[in-house]
Amino acid sequence: MSQSLNILDVSLRDGSHSVRHSFTVEQVRAAAKGLNAAGVRYFEVTHGDGLGGSSLQYGLSKVDELKLIEAAVEEATFSEVSVLLIPGIGTKQDLQAAASIGAKMVRVATHVTEADVAAQHIGLGRELGLKTVGFLMMAHMTPVEKIVEQAKLFESYGAEVVYVTDSAGALLPHEVTARVAALKDTLQCDIGFHAHNNLSMALANTIAAIEAGANYIDGSLRALGAGAGNTQTEVMVAVLEKLGYQTGIDLYKLMDVANEVIAPLMQQPQEISGSSLVLGYAGVYSSFLLHAQKAAQQFGVDERDILMELGQRKTVGGQEDLIYEVAQQLVKA
């Protein structure tokens, strides 16, 4: 197949959730150096919740993210460093600071029905000369028609890529196909896809997205990411090469950075546990997992019950405080 793909690795951003935002400059530098040597075009570096995410609500970073971004940029002689920005968490000033130290891409992320809050951030990204992306999170929560409507808003603001983002790892391949194909048929810009593996569907969903027309694809080394992790970058590259897609990535070098740099810093294996499975089953934001585990321990309740209730309430990113409220209510019940 002749379709060329843009692989974006999120180990140093989505993986921040999994390691409780404890990345050091040395770890980021080593991973960035390896990703660059392997020929990965883009990789993302910020707190798990994006620029400005270091807080009591979302989790405090061990190291200021600007220092991590700066270290990554210094190693990225071929690769380009992306940053995530969620309006209401990150600010325009945060984005200007990231751009000033060499970030080349910004992905402005909103809930799937709230693209309108991102207009000024998308506009600023374009003004700063960044590759500017709209990131529609929790894409399982709304019908295809609504996703198309919101994606068109992102494009109208200047987004050069619009992502279908399966933040809960809740989608199945036919649902990914429907969403990506609808955007491909409607938009003039490029289409991206970001998966989580809570139902063990990440790679299958990624292939479905590519076949439906997505050409920006996310993964993380050793699947390091929130919940059960993301599509595993090195496995994805191997499968795509077997399918005949052009990735331009050196698989051996990618495996080396996964095994020699990322694996040693992982605090637990990325596997589908009972709780991460419930994330996908109930449709809950993947980064809620560690918060739910902490609340369950604090209040002596089953973390799966917390996650199921959060799914019933259709909670979205930014509602982390509800995790503890739900745990307290389960105790009373």
DSSP 231-247: -BHHHHHHHHHHHT-B-
Residues 145 and 17 in one domain: yes
The binding site for Mn(2+) consists of 14, 194, 196
Domain stop point among 265, 298, 321? 265
Q: What is the CATH number of the domain that holds 195?
A: 3.20.20.70
Cα 253-256-259 angle, rounded to 5 deg: 155
Residue 318, pLDDT > 90, answer no
The binding site consists of 13-14, 167, 194, 196, 285
Pair 262, 224: CB distance under 8 Å: yes
List pLDDT tens digits, range 100-132: 999 999 999 999 999 999 999 999 999 999 999
Residues 71 and 188 in one domain: yes
In this structure, is residue 30 part of a structural domain?
yes
Cut 0.85: pTM above it? yes
Q: What is the CATH number of the domain that holds 310?
A: 1.10.8.60
User: Taking all residues of the chain, what is their mean pLDDT, rounded to a whole number?
Assistant: 96
In this structure, is residue 10 part of a structural domain?
yes
Residues 258 and 302 in one domain: no
Q: What is the domain count for the chain? A: 2
In this structure, is residue 52 part of a structural domain?
yes
Q: What is the DSSP letter of 106?
A: E
Catalytic residues: 17
Residues 318 and 192 in one domain: no
User: Given this model, what pLDDT does residue 3 score?
Assistant: 64
Let me know if 211 is exposed, middle or buried by CB neighbors in 10 A (0-12, 13-18, 19+).
middle
Average pLDDT over residues 52-74: 95
The binding site for substrate consists of 13-14, 167, 194, 285
Question: Which domain does 328 fall in, by range?
Answer: 287-332
In this structure, is residue 282 part of a structural domain?
no
List pLDDT tens digits, range 144-193: 999 999 999 999 999 999 999 999 999 999 999 999 999 999 999 999 99
User: Given this model, what pLDDT does residue 13 score?
Assistant: 98
Average pLDDT over residues 279-288: 95
Structure tokens at 226: 């929130």
In angstroms, rounded to a whole number, what is the distance separating the alpha carbons of residues 123 and 206?
29
Residues 221 and 107 in one domain: yes
Let me know if 268 is exposed, middle or buried by CB neighbors in 10 A (0-12, 13-18, 19+).
exposed
Encoded amino acid at 321, one letter: D
